[in-house]
Structure 1
């Protein structure tokens, strides 16, 4: 095959992967603006309807590493086709759902689509020219972030023109087309990693996440000091510890705890966990806040479309600064850009917590949040790519995205608990619930900023290594001295 044909092939593959990632990302947030509508249509409560989002994130948190491992074992292309088919089936079931229980099950099936992340990163690693891998991974990572914001914007027009069922029919059709295109266009990678899936780890991961999320979701009604809530929290800690121990002993772990020990990896993943909590909480609760009838003493009586337009500045700013993050990282270092993005996000949550008088205040918060998150998400991808060997880029990037999803599922559940802990006679949350919730997220982003300082300065480390390499090439005796020093150190 000629170089031009090869290039066209991987560019076409990238288009298909981008469509699949965008469809998965849209489904993360497309339903968020219509949660109040689903609450009414499916005859449920606000705390229960939040599980429409949480079930999706929880399922994605579990299936993402499992499907990534299966793809490495039997072939990424065929597994990606299966993932997209499952995503389409879940979309059809959600479109036909007439009860909250069926809707939650459908969303859990859609969460299987989380496998798109490691599979796409793995295909890029296997099929793309080495110099194109980092850029392609960064673009897919940006699509995952921006697509979530666009879902909030597109929900209103779709519901107004059709109805909320089409929030699932349209992505279902797109995903079905992407599945066919994947089968026809994406080559099956010859790269295989023999091994097995650690089902014990998968069960333990599911168990501790479910125990934690049920506890924080039901605490307002059961009571934080109740036997059920305390028991579930204790169980989640014990199960999480057991999961970690199993992963450390496993030859083929779902989440590579050894890689997590790399300083640049675990610190960046900690930031990703906190960012996930902030992002998905905004997806779940800002539309509900601005849609609240002003007669409640707060809110803006916004329609679904208007709530999407209020969030639109976040999506635009996230895209623009996600693109700018690369050049900024090249000039100032990805760590500096990540810390700056985290810091910019703090005042946005502070505004959402306390400034409830005018739409422009919320719009300003959205701009700041888009700037911060756009800078940070791309910088995280760059740090991970720089921190691991090239053959681990896909695994490490997928793990970072998955940890962000886990943070999102935990953050959305905790936010639901805080916001719905006190309700007005109309069953709407009190304004103080949103103040406490968004204030909590401001504190979360402060922690993310502080955690960013723990990330090693890879730019400096890389420059020092390059200088040592050049010096050893010019003066070979230096390499011998260095080798002797290492041997001496080991002998001691």
Structure 2
């Protein structure tokens, strides 16, 4: 089906602004809470181990909802499901703002996690609605905004709590979400591009089950013990459920995630790189603030407040935004794979610098700037590679899995990096050597990411307008 964003359809400029607002609202909801978990722990009278579920529950819910909502959007309509994702995000924010116990707060974060479907739905709408020559740049900017919103949340969380109250970490995003939902209804057209068929409920249930079985022990491994029966048992269960999920998908006439699509070289290699970059980004955002907040009496750190630690990450937010803006143009000229490699090239020296020279403030600012630029380039290129590698009817499902794999990488990365950093901790504080070894681990992951980009097939430079071959059939790369 062919259409243009012409007469009778809203202008793509207004549509794009609304889509960016939706992504920003989700990204802020994801990151605002992380720096203030101790504050939430104090106000809701709970333990440190329990309050971590405020983040874990959100990530688990988002991991399940992202690919499922992306697929449902492909079938029933992306604009409709984008509204559903935003409404769930808003409902969760409202419940979290009103929560008087940790149980209600965790339930609210589960509901918020359903908003993870925003990302693949936005990518699908861009591909369906925008002119071909604008798709790459628009996807790059939208993907960069996800990282920018994440960094911005960490920067502003401290001032919001100090000026207002921690509950405003949910009230303020709720206002943005409400505006985004109304604007989506008014300005985002319903795409005529549909994937035929119905939602494969057994596949959705198995996908949800193996993701939960995988991410729970990864998140709790350092507390339960990596060799404990619970961790090993859940990991084994995750393998069995994942195998069952793949078998169901392969035998299904209407799969939730098309395994033929996932086997495409451009798809599986891009997903592997996404796993590694997710590992680096989430780990850095989790542990760099903790590093700079450490009092100098420990032999390292700067004794920064929550607000000041956010300022250390401000360069990351700025460079991530501008590199995301530039990624689309660079991708059209040099190819998305080259932009992806550039992201890894910037990430490696920043991690090495962090591991070897972290005693000066300027080093942290430089590291944050380099990491932001590298991740901005990489996330934009990853999104473009996935969207242009699959037919339009599978954009939501493919983008959802790619975003999901980044989250899985982040869960693995924070768990492993946390174990490295906290090994040998004294008096509740990690040793400096723990951070050094953790940062070297992230440098190694960045080097592996660079090597993995060489496996990504090299596409012709006109990446967006090129056709894609799948299972011997020529499929148009865009439906404009």
In the superposition, the TM-score normalised over structure 2's length comes to 0.88
**Aligned position for 1:490:** none
1:285 alignment counterpart: 287
The alpha-carbon deviation at position 52 of structure 1 amounts to 2.5
Q: Distance in 1 between matches of 2:122 and 2:362?
A: 38
- The aligned residue for residue 454 of structure 1 is 455
SS of the aligned residue for 1:458 comes to coil
1:145 corresponds to: 147
Partner residue in 2 for 1:133: 135
| Deviation readout 1:114-154 (Å, 9 max, x if unpaired) | 11122222222333334433332222212112221221222
CA distance in 2, matches of 1:184, 1:325: 30
Alignment of 1:312-461 (within 5 A): 312-389=314-391, 392-425=394-427, 427-459=428-460
Which structure 1 segments of 5+ residues have no match?
467-492
For 2:435 and 2:100, the matched residues in 1 are separated by 30
Q: CA deviation at 1:310?
A: 0.4
CA drift of 1:181 comes to 2.0
The alpha carbon displacement at 1:175 in A equals 0.6
Give 1:273 shift: 1.1
Q: 2:169 aligns with which of 167, 170, 192?
A: 167
In 2 relative to 1, CA 381–230 (structure 1 residues): closer, same or farther, beyond 3 Å? closer
Distance change (3 Å), C-alpha of 1:392 and 1:214: closer
Check the 8 A contact 2:213/2:234 in 1, yes or no: yes
Looking at structure 1, the residues matched to 424 and 98 of structure 2 have their Cα atoms a distance apart, in angstroms, of 33
Q: Indicate the structure whose relative CO is greater, using CA pairs within 8 Å and at least 6 residues apart.
A: 2
Q: How far does the alpha carbon of each residue in 1:57-114 deviate from its partner, in whole angstroms, 9 at most, with x for none? A: 2211110121122223333323222221110111122222344333222222111001
- Correspondence for 1:482: none
Contact kept? 2:70, 2:121, Cα under 8 Å: yes
Q: Distance in 1 between matches of 2:223 and 2:80?
A: 44
Are the aligned partners of 1:134 and 1:385 in contact in 2 as well (CA < 8 Å)? Answer: no
User: Match of 1:485?
Assistant: none
Distance 1:294 1:200 in 2: 54
With 294-303 and 259-268 compared, the bigger mean Cα shift is at: 294-303
- Do 1:125 and 1:391's aligned partners in 2 also have CA atoms closer than 8 Å? no
> Aligned to 1:123, which of 119, 122, 125?
125
What is the CA–CA distance in structure 2 between the aligned matches of 1:214 and 1:400, rounded to whole Å? 20
2:67 to 36, 42, 65: 65
Q: Is the partner of 2:311 in helix, strand or coil?
A: helix
SS in 2 for 1:302: coil
Aligned to 2:472: none
CA distance in 2, matches of 1:132, 1:32: 34
Please tell me the root mean square deviation across aligned C-alpha atoms, in Å: 2.7
Alpha carbons of structure 1 residues 3 and 281: separation in structure 2 relative to 1, 3 Å: closer
Name the larger-Rg structure: 1
1:78–1:188 contact (8 Å) kept in structure 2: yes
Matched, 1:114 2:129: no
CA distance in 2 between counterparts of 1:407 and 1:159 reads 29
2:437 and 2:236 mapped to 1: Cα distance?
25
**2:221 alignment partner, one of 219, 222, 239:** 219
**Cα distance change of structure 1 residues 104 and 438 upon mapping to structure 2, 3 Å threshold:** farther
1:67/1:79 contact within 8 Å kept? yes
Residue 221 of structure 2 contacts residue 415 of structure 2 at CA under 8 Å; is this kept in 1? no
Whole-Å separation in 2 of the counterparts to 1:398 and 1:374: 18
Using the alignment, how far apart are the partners of 2:74 and 2:388 within structure 1?
22
Q: Which runs of 5+ in 2 are unaligned?
A: 468-480
Please say if residues 121 and 398 of structure 1, whose CA atoms lie closer than 8 Å, have aligned partners that are also in contact.
no
Number of residue pairs aligned between Structure 1 and Structure 2: 462
Instruction: Mark the CA change 1:53 to 1:420 in structure 2 (over 3 Å): closer, same or farther.
Output: farther
Specify the alignment match of 1:192 in structure 2. Answer: 194
CA drift of 1:267 comes to: 0.6
- For the 8 Å contact 1:38–1:49, the answer to whether it is kept is yes
- Aligned partners of 2:88 and 2:114 also within 8 Å: yes
- Pick from 4, 20, 23 the counterpart of residue 21 of structure 1: 23
CA contact (8 A) 1:338 1:380 kept: yes
Shifted more, 98-107 versus 269-278: the winner is: 98-107
> Deviation digits for residues 353-382 of structure 1, max 9, x if unmatched?
343322222112111211211221222233
More helix by share: 1
Structure 1 residues 390, 208: CA separation in 2 closer, same or farther (over 3 Å shift)? Answer: closer
What is the CA-CA distance between 1:454 and the residue it aligns to?
Answer: 0.7
* Counterpart contact for 1:58–1:409, Cα < 8 Å: no
2:33 corresponds to? 31
- Aligned 8 A contact 2:355 2:439 in 1: yes
